[in-house]
Amino acid sequence: MVYDALDGKLTKRSIEALIQDRYSLRCCPQFLGPMLETLHDIARILEIEMNSANDNPLIDTDTRKVYCKHQTHYIFCLLQNKIESKL
């Protein structure tokens, strides 16, 4: 290739042959990797939130007691923080 350049054979670029892949193909892994990681994290957070008891009242089915603790429950704060950190 160096000899071709010295002989003047590489002065014109052939339109048919690309020297490198298109930019969108080259940057796909850097874009899609973090997005897929975020989607996996969000799915894990949603699964934990849907299976947790973070709402009032909390009912114990074994003792048939109802626990009504009026506290502030930050529902989906972890999910919100995860989404906002990727924006």
Written as tens digits, the pLDDT of the chain (87 aa) is 667 666 766 666 655 666 677 777 778 888 889 889 988 988 998 888 777 766 667 778 899 888 776 655 556 677 777 777 765
Amino acid at 7: D
Note the pLDDT of residue 51: 79
Note the pLDDT of residue 40: 92
Note the pLDDT of residue 2: 67
- pTM of the full predicted structure? 0.48
